[in-house]
Structure 1
Amino acid sequence: MRVSITPFNGGWKMGDSLEVELDEQSTVRDLAAIVHDMKDIDPSRMSFFLDADEASAIPPDGWDCLLCEYKVTDGSVLRLEPSNSGCWLWHEIEYYKEEVLRQMVTAVKGAGEDGISMAELQKSVPLPPPMSAYLYVPLVRMHAHLFYVETDTMTREMRVWSNRGGWVPVWL
């Protein structure tokens, strides 16, 4: 049977689903071993859910049960979450960083000639949980080839534009 595993951390989807092929006699522990082999995530740090409802968690003492006992059939989708928020990532941190940068570039280009305030940029492109340690300003400043930043030294407001030709940052 084919089962899809979708990784979440709270309400945030961590990446694409993982499709796995299992036989009818597979257990939850077998499924955890496959995820471990493919993603190098320790099974003790995994929590499986039958759906988005927290009450649908498969308890660790039930991992030796057959998947069919939980009504998992061909085409089922299981939700996989870290047992403790943030204890593993589905992708390397660079994947999430590149995704945020792509969304930021789209938001800045969509703002047109007026640019976008840093506050508006932060609202339109929320950081995913694994990047909560990153701040928007350093991320924008590290990518001067993508973004042009103008800072008003009186109001401390920053405006961001697409960098269209090697412009250097400006402090007014």
Structure 2
Amino acid sequence: MVYELFFSYYDENPENDDEIIIAVYSSQEKAEAGRKKFLKQPRFKGKDEFLEISEFEINKPWWKEGFWRATMSYFIIELLNGYVIEKEKEGDPENHNIKIRNQEEMKVYQGTMDYYYDHEKFLCLKNIESGQMYCLDKQQGKIQYEANIYEDMLNFLRQRYQIEIFGWKEIFRE
């Protein structure tokens, strides 16, 4: 077996996209040690999830699907107060899985969502299939309220944040 250390980073701005095979190691342990070493370099620092190790058996074909065309795209929606919505789209237009990170780069939400409303104090999310809505408090970094009726969410926002009206923005723009 060999262990390939690979970096693959995609940004809203294609000029920042970065892909490189860094090294191939003889053991998982050596690959992990190499990964830790490379994570300290400026090019890779803070991008832990984009530096991956893949295992391959020597002299055995691993590519059995035939020709493949990369269809994966990646985007980030920058929100107020350092929050971001991340989406890795795997060629499936119906896949609406997102991740939300705070200013400390910590994941605070992961799930299927279609719409959002961004405010400096909170973030609202909506799944159109289920109708479920969530209000994430940015100061606390967690979901504070769930509803499936717009008026219920609006009443909560009025009481908690003194918001009179809000409108949704689509996360997935074609």
The TM-score normalised by the length of structure 1 is: 0.26
Flag the structure with higher helix content: 1
Flag the structure with higher strand content: 2
Structure (1 or 2) with the larger CA radius of gyration? 1
Q: Which has the higher contact order (CA 8 A, sep 6+)?
A: 1
The TM-score normalised by the length of structure 2 is: 0.26
